Amino acid sequence: MEQSNPADTVKKVVGIAGGTALIAPVAPPILHGIAGIAVIGLGLFAAGSLVMKATGSIREIGNQMTAKESKKRSI
């Protein structure tokens, strides 16, 4: 089992804190950009799904050559 050295621990903590301080001014715009891309992608996916369902429904209504399925009730 290794002994933890307080000097090494302090160096690691300072290194992590320094790296975080350097990245901090840049991180919020990047995170907002990634979140914006995700939201726009989700909106485009939802709109595309809605358009595909609508065109499928219109295509079924306009097609006179296909037989309509009748639903039979089972008693």
Per residue in 23-47, pLDDT (tens digit) is 777 778 888 888 999 999 999 999 9
Q: What distance in Å separates the CA atoms of residue 28 and residue 20, rounded to the nearest whole number? A: 12
Using DSSP, how many helices (H) and how many strands (E) does the chain show? 2, 0
pTM over 0.75: no
Token pair for 49: 């799904």
More confident residue, 1 or 62: 62
More confident residue, 63 or 51: 51
Q: What distance in Å separates the CA atoms of residue 17 and residue 59, rounded to the nearest whole number? A: 60
Contact residues for 66 (Cβ-Cβ < 8 A; gap 6+): 60
